Structures are given as structure tokens and as C-alpha cells.
Structure 1
């Protein structure tokens, strides 16, 4: 069995789920975890953030329900309204971090969300990946080179296809994969205890 975490780095609910994800993984070092980018803001949804009028209200709800932090720099970004969330660029970044440190993808993916939702940094900017890599003790040059490599775009598209093939329609979604079977463990909001209970029930079958 392994875990499959389908998220989007620009998804506030995924940011809210970060603590639960890391808690579950810390309790189960025996389980490998695939991190898959879902592609929330692509195509016609790649527009200035002001087009999403629900963002402020959603973030307030996320903070209330999960304790997730939204920083002042991010608030300024939202207030300006011109920033464009590009999920393909973010997925390229996740692919780059996964390439350099595959065993730490969950950790670095949640770090990406932190630098956006707290630090207000663009996930389309190579400097953001340099910062995350340096703060994570990774080879920053290798991460930036991977982010800018042509194969990273292909990896992003492969992630989007995998999310669709898994039948994931919303983010975040945590799945348990065992052979050909896939079982949902969490969708949207879930506590560590709730995920643990579902995982225990699955293992008891």
C-alpha cells in the first residue's frame, strides 16, 4: 500500500490540509507517498485573481476550520488583484522538487504553499524555488534547472492526466493505493485522527 496525495499548490484547501498530511506521513514512515499536482488554474481559469471573488471568504473559512495561516504579503497580493495563479508553473515546480528530492516531495510541496500563502511569492518565479530549495537544504541550482527544463512541463501535464485518471475532481484528495484498488482517505477537510481511523479500517479488511 502507498498513499497518493492529489493537490494543487494554488489551492487554499490544500494549504489547509498540509498539517494533516505531514502528521499522517510522520506516523507512517513505512508508507511511500506520491504527490500529484491537479491543475486547478489552467486554461480559461488562468486569469487575474480578482476574477475569483470568493477567495477572501474561502480563506477565512479555511483558517477557521484548519488553523492554516495566511500572511500579510499574501493579503496584499489578493488586494492588488492582478496576480495570475498558473497551476502549470506550480506543477513544474513540484516536479522539479520531486526530481531532486523524491523522498521529500510532500514536505517541499507544503513548503511551496507556505511561501505563497504566507510569503506572497509567485510559484511561476524561479527565485521562489531557489528559496524553497535553500531553506530545505537541497541543491538550489539543480531545482531551478529542473523547473526551467522542457521535461518539467511534460511532467506537469502527466500529473494532470494522472489526477484525472484517478477520478479526482477536487483538491486536496488523499488516497490509499493497493494494487489496482484506490480508496479515498480524505477529501477537502480531514483531521489526522479521521485519516488514521479510515486507514486502520482499510488495513483491517
Structure 2
């Protein structure tokens, strides 16, 4: 069995899921975790944040339910409403981190979301990936180079296609995959304990 975590780096609920996934990986180090970008803010949804009037209310709910904090840097970034969340750019960054250190993808994508939601760093800026990579002890220039490489856009599109093939249209979604069986064990929010219980139930029926 392996887990497939379909998320979007610009999704507040995906950010709220970080503590759950981190704890689950700590509890179940035996499980491989594939991280896939879903593409929430693309096409007609790639607009200034002011057009999403629900953001502040949603963030308050996410904090209340999950305990994650939205930092002062993030508040400054979105204050005038002009910032554009571009999920294609964020997905390119995820693929850059994933190919650089595939065994640390859960840790690195968590750091990427903290860079946005706490520090207020744009996920469209190569410097953000240098910052995240350097903090993780990776080659910062190599990660930034992978982010800007021509094939990064194709890799992002491949992630979006993978999410669609899996039938995922809400983020985050955590899937358990074993053979030809794929089961959603969390959508939106769940605790590590709840997911662990669901995984044990699945294992008992396999």
C-alpha cells in the first residue's frame, strides 16, 4: 500500500492538512507517499485574491480546526488584494523540490506552504525556492534552476492530469492505493489517528 496526497500549495485547507500528514508519516514511516499538485488556481481561477471574498473567513476556520497559523508576512502579501495565486507556478516548484529530494517531499512541500502562508513569499518567485531549499540543506541554485527549467511546465501539467485521472476535484485528498484499489482516506480534513484507523481497516480487508 502507498499513499497519494493530492493537494495544492495555494490551498488553505491543504496548508491546514500539513500537521496531519506530518504526524501520519511519523507514525507510518513504512508507507510511501506520492505528492501530486492538483491545480486549484489555473485558467479562469487565476485572478487577484480580492476576487475570493471568502479568504479571510476560510483562513480563520482553518486555523480554528487545524491549529495552523497564517503569518504577518502572508497578511501583508495579500493586504491590497492584488496578489495572484498561480497554481501552475506552484506545481512547477513542487516538481523541482520533488525531483531534487524525492524521499523528503512531504517535508519540503510543508516548508513550501509555510513559506507562503507564514512568511508571505510568492510561489511564483524562484527566490522562494532558493530560500526553501537552502533551509532544507539542498542545493538552492539547483532547485531554483529546476523551477525555471522549460520542462517544469510539462511536469506541472502531468501532475494536474494525474489528479484528474485519480478523480480528485477537492484538495487536499489523501488516497490509499494498493494494486488496482484506490480508496480516499481523507478529504479536506482528518486527524492522523482517524486516517491511521482507516488504513488499518483497509489492510484488514485486503
Q: Return the offset for 1:141.
A: 1.2
CA RMSD of aligned residues (A): 0.6
Q: Give 1:119's aligned residue.
A: 119
Superposition pairs of residues 77-96 of structure 1, within 5 angstroms: 77-96=77-96
Is 1:201 aligned to residue 198 of structure 2?
no
How far apart, in 2, do the equivalents of 1:138 and 1:79 lie?
32
Q: Return the offset for 1:180.
A: 1.4
Q: Deviations over 1:162-204 (max 9, x none)?
A: 0000000100000001111101110001011111110110111
Is 1:15 aligned to residue 15 of structure 2?
yes
Q: Return the offset for 1:151.
A: 1.0
Q: Secondary structure at the match of 2:193?
A: helix
How far apart, in 1, do the equivalents of 2:181 and 2:201 lie?
15
Superposition pairs of residues 15-94 of structure 1, within 5 angstroms: 15-94=15-94
Q: Give the aligned length.
A: 205
Q: Give 1:134's aligned residue.
A: 134
How far apart, in 1, do the equivalents of 2:78 and 2:54 lie?
11
Which structure 2 segments of 5+ residues have no match?
none
Q: Return the offset for 1:78.
A: 2.3
Which structure 1 segments of 5+ residues have no match?
none
Q: Deviations over 1:55-88 (max 9, x none)?
A: 0000000000000110011112222100000000
Q: Give 1:149's aligned residue.
A: 149
Q: Give 2:4's aligned residue.
A: 4
Q: Give 1:168's aligned residue.
A: 168
How far apart, in 1, do the equivalents of 2:77 and 2:124 lie?
14
Q: Secondary structure at the match of 2:17?
A: helix
How far apart, in 2, do the equivalents of 1:32 and 1:149 lie?
27
Q: Deviations over 1:3-57 (max 9, x none)?
A: 0000000000000000000111111111111000000000011010000000000
Q: Return the offset for 1:97.
A: 0.2
How far apart, in 1, do the equivalents of 2:86 and 2:179 lie?
33
Q: Secondary structure at the match of 1:80?
A: coil
Q: Secondary structure at the match of 1:121?
A: coil
